[in-house]
Every structure is written in C-alpha cells, then in structure tokens.
Amino acid sequence: MTITRHRLAGLAGLAGVAAFAVALTACSSAPTGGTDATDAVTIDDAQSVGAMEDFDAGTTFKATEPVEFSLMYRDHPGYPVKNDWSVFQHLADDNNVSFSRTDIPMSDFEQKKSLLIGSGEASDIISVSYSGSETKFVSGGAILPVSDYFAYMPNFSEKVEKWGLKDELDNRRQADEKIYLLPGLRETPNVEYSVAIREDLWEKAGITEDPETWEEFAEQLAKVQEANPELAYAMSDRWTDSTPLGSLLNVMGPNYGTAAGWQYANTWYDEDAEEYVFTGTTDEYRDLVSDVAGLVEDGLLDPEITQSDDQATQKFISGQSAAISSNTQTLTEYRTKFADAGQPDVPIRLISIPAGPAGSNLASGRFTSGLMLSSDAADKPYFKALLQFVDWLYYSDEGIEFAQWGVEGETYTKDADGTRTLKEDIGWSAVNSGAPKKLNADFGYSNGVFLPANGSSKELLLSLMTEEVAAWTAEQLDSKKQLPVPPAPLLDEIELEQTSLLQTQLTDAVHAATAAFITGQRSIDTDWDAYVAEIEGLGSTQLIDTINTALNR
C-alpha cells in the first residue's frame, strides 16, 4: 500500500503563503440559499478567511486571498497525478486555490481512506466516495454533516431543485436526518454499459437489427454461433473476476425487475407491497439467473464467468467470441486491440439495451460518486471558502465545464453556437483517440476526482462524446423509463451494526450461489428451495424485518 503526500502551493505569488495565518476578515455574509433549512449552522467570521461575500449560483468562485485545502486524492493508474497539471495551475491562478494532497493509488483507495478517516487523519476533501461508504463513519464524528451547510452551497441547491432531486437527496439521510456525503448530480440517468458485438459475425448470421428483448438476444447468439462454427462461444464476458458477470447482470437487472451483478443489493423495494423484500430470493431474481444459466447450458455463453478482463478481451479479439460486455469508452479499447492485431476494419458496436419481463428500464437514481468533508474542516479558518469552492467546482455550470473540458483556447475551442471542440493534439476516450496528448493524463481534466458526475448536465454529458456514442446514449435515455427511487429506511446505530454483520455474508452467499446456478454446478429446478433456506439461515428474514421496521418508523 502506497501513500504519498504532496503540497501544492500553486504558481507565482502563492509559494510560501500560509492561508491559516492571515488576518481574519470582517463580517461574513449570510448564506444565499439551500435545500435544507433544518438545523442550519451559521459560519462565523473566524472560519470565513478567503470566502467571497457575494457568492451565489452562477458566480465564479475566487478566494479573496490564497487558500490551501487538504485533499485525499484517488490516483488513477490510467492518468497518474502530476503536480504541473493544467487543472492545478488554473485553480491556483484563477481561483486562488491550491492543495496539500494525500495521493493514494486507486487499488488501495477504499482501504486507505477508511484507515485515515478512522484514525482522525482525514483530509478536508475526501474524493471519489460512493453512497453508503459514509455510514460507518457517522457515529465516530469524523465526517461533516454537510446538510447543515447547504445554505452556503447555492449551485448545489439550485441543481437539486431544478433537476427534481430532492426526494433522492432525502434518501441519503442518516438516522439523525443529516446528510454526510455530497453526491455527484446528474440531470439524466447514468447509462454507459451494454454488450458489444462484432457486426460482421452478426451479419454473417443474417442479423442486422438489435434485439428488442433479452430473449431475442439469446436467439441471436444461437444464430451467430451456428453461422460461425469457429467460435468457441458466441459470448465470453469480462468484468467478472470480482463479481461474476458483474456488468452483464447489472445491465439486465432493471428489465427483470431486480438488481444483480455490480449493483446487487440485498434489499429490493416492492412498489406494490410498499415494503422491502430480499432481492436474491425473489421470483424476478430467479428468472434472471435462470435465463443466463440457459445461455451457458446451450453453449452460447462461456462458463468461465470468473475469468480476467484480459482473458475475455483476448477471446474477443482473436475471434473465439463474438460478443462481450462493454461501455461507451471500452469500444475504443477493443478497436485499438483489433488494429494492433492487424484487423483495423473489424466492425464492433454497442447494442441498445434489450428489454425484459419488467419492461425497458434504466436503474433508479441520478446520483453518482461524490465526496465527503472532514468534520475538522468546520474549524479551519477557510471553511466557508472551502464550501464555496466545492459548490463552484462540482455543481456550477462553469465549474463542471472547466473540470470536464479544461480551459477554452488551451484544451478546446468553442464555436459561436457553443459547440466545443478538443484541440487536435488532445484526445479523450474515443475523441481524437490517436492524439499525442490526453485530456486527463496530460492536463488533469475529465478526472473523477474533480468531475464525479462526468459532466452532470445532459448537454455536458453528450458534449465530450463521439457522434456514435452520443447517439447511442441519447437513444437509451429517450427510449427507456427510469425506475423510481425507493424510500430510504433510517436505521439507528444499533440497527446499522446488526445489519452490517448480515449484509456481507448474505451478499457473498448470493453471489456464490448465483455463479453456481449459472454455470450448472447447482440446478435451479431442484436446488432453488434449498438455496432459499440457506439464505434464510444466514439471516435474510432478520435483515428485511429490520429494514421494514425502520422504514415504517
């Protein structure tokens, strides 16, 4: 496990500046708005160093004097952090903000983040934090109840109201009715994953249209297998080593009326019954697992459902398979690998996500990874400035455009109609894919640390895509229904402790049984009832009873 601390004092004029020792400003201005007035806390002058008096939604944030925030930074191997990145330089020059970074490799991030927070060494800003990860820190008091300060975050409050996210935000409240994690906000649902197919092998089977349903997808796989006997399997899947068939089951789940794969959760809200049920033993989950098991049984899906990404990708590139899970970015990866293998003209594309027994849906929720703030930050002289900066960078139109595209004239140009174009020597994902420089690796933009919602607004989301990917994304958003966000039960500390002990063992048991059913090691027809009894023996009934009790309370 590696951890590196960096102190970024910015460029000329910032070196040696100590934001903590400057004279305190005069009166702090009153908050300008907020999504939650309950228990609102007023920030004193002593914590308002560097804060703007007239900060509001749409206002460019610039600290009134240089400030330095500590940042827990998730270092992505695809774009390792560099001290001289443009994003750091412009934040220092244009916004008077620099960072004292704690760099943590992505592979160690969750573990190390927990250790630092638990030991009282959390940075002011704790980046790339997912929903639920905050819960275990609430009772210890290490994480800021940020909902107390929403009134100081006008851009965040405006987006929540404008995009109709208040109910979803309320679902993030803990038992004390406070919110501890600032989520990334999306105007539209997140849709990136589906199945990539080799069009040439599909056309050889006489298929030119996407399957309308997962049942039709199975029929197409059978036709492709028959028309291309050299295939080992019509489909051999990736993203399977940590969660068996994690991506495929995740994509299929909403259209079966359940959650599976990456997004599996033990609790599923039954809209009709108005209560939670145990996901892994429902009829809907059984139907999903049964259909995927049928693909393996028919020789259409590779039974190696715990293989590495490299193994699955190699099978796709070498012609052993004709379909593989993909997202809008890995299309470029596959095309590059085909070209490297001397096959630059192999046509591949994402299919439109097929419908299922429950309809044509997208998973509920328009929140994505966000950030937490250390509770100690509230005592720092620059606390109010920190809130204003976070609000501007992550939630203002100007801030998210900067975080995604960079700086006009340096990394991109903008036409009179507002259309942005990356400079020719800069690439990102499939856009200018052969360019010598990368927007994230060489400049620090389109970086999950500073852009958790990957664009946030629909316009920005689509703006940094190829025409192909933008069209596919727009089609999914326009043709599918987003499932409603379920109500959130507010568990008290004792209930949280009780359920956390059950959650892990139940999830592990469901994943293990799911893999066994899909590969034929267990029979759904003869073993399902025994499996349900096993899950009940591990505490599924106790878990659901506790959840529903909290929900009713």
Question: 351-374, pLDDT tens digit by residue?
Answer: 999 999 999 999 888 988 899 999
Residue 18 has pLDDT above 60, yes or no: no
Residue ranges, comma separated, of all CATH 3.40.190.10 domains in the chain are 4-188+367-405
The two structure tokens encoding residue 479: 């043709």
- Mean residue pLDDT of the chain comes to 91
Is the pLDDT score of 128 beyond 80? yes
Instruction: Assess whether pLDDT exceeds 60 at residue 116.
Output: yes
Of the candidates 309, 357, 316, the residue with the CA atom closest to the CA atom of residue 337: 316
β-strand pairing of 420-422 with 275-278: unpaired
Determine whether domain 4-188+367-405 maps to CATH 3.40.190.10. Answer: yes
Residue 433 has which token pair?
Answer: 């894919």
**The pLDDT of residue 5:** 64
Residue type, 153: M
pLDDT band at 27 (very low <50, low <70, confident <90, very high): very low
State the chain's maximal CA–CA distance in angstroms.
Answer: 78
What single DSSP character describes residue 99?
A: E
What average pLDDT does this structure show over 246-265? 96
* Strand-pair category, 97-105 with 67-75: parallel
Decide if pLDDT at 114 tops 50: yes
User: Are residues 542 and 502 in contact, defined by beta-carbon separation less than 8 angstroms?
Assistant: yes
DSSP 316-345: HHTTS-SEEEEETTHHHHHHHHHHHTT-TT
Q: According to the model, what pLDDT value does residue 201 have?
A: 98
Rounded CA-CA distance 28/8 in Å is: 27
* 10-49: b (≥16 Cβ within 10 Å) or e: beeebeebebeebeebeebeebebbbbeeeeeebeeebbb
- Cβ within 8 Å of residue 453, ≥6 positions away: 184, 185, 186, 368, 394, 400
Task: Report the candidate in 149, 74, 144 with the shortest Cα–Cα distance to residue 385.
Answer: 149
Residue 11 has pLDDT above 50, yes or no: no
Whether the predicted pLDDT of 10 surpasses 50: no
Give whole-number Cα distances, 115 to 96, 121, 235, 511, in Å. 30, 8, 40, 27
pLDDT 10s digits, 528-541? 999 999 999 999 99
Neighbours of 4 (CB within 10 A): 12
Helix crossing, 540-552 with 524-537: angle to 10°? Answer: 60
Mean pLDDT for the stretch of residues 295-299: 98
Asked whether residue 497 carries a pLDDT value surpassing 80, the answer given is yes
Q: Angle at CA 539, nearest 5°, toward 535 and 540?
A: 60
In degrees, to the nearest 5, what angle opens at C-alpha 546 toward C-alphas 543 and 552? 140
Q: Which two tokens stand for residue 115?
A: 């250790």
How many angstroms from the chain centroid is the CA of residue 286? 27
87: left (phi over 0), alpha (psi -120 to 50) or beta: alpha
Average pLDDT over residues 23-32: 39
CA–CA distance, 257 with 268 (Å, rounded to integer): 9
pLDDT digits (tens, 9 = 90+) for 169-179: 998 888 888 99
Q: What share of the chain is helix, strand, coil (3-state, %, to 5)?
A: 40, 15, 45
Poorest-pLDDT segment among 44-48, 186-190, 265-269: 186-190
Q: What is the pLDDT at residue 29?
A: 42
Distance CA 179, CA 167 (A): 13
What is the reported pLDDT for 4?
64
Helix (H, G, I), strand (E, B) or coil at 196: strand
Share of the chain above pLDDT 90, in %: 76
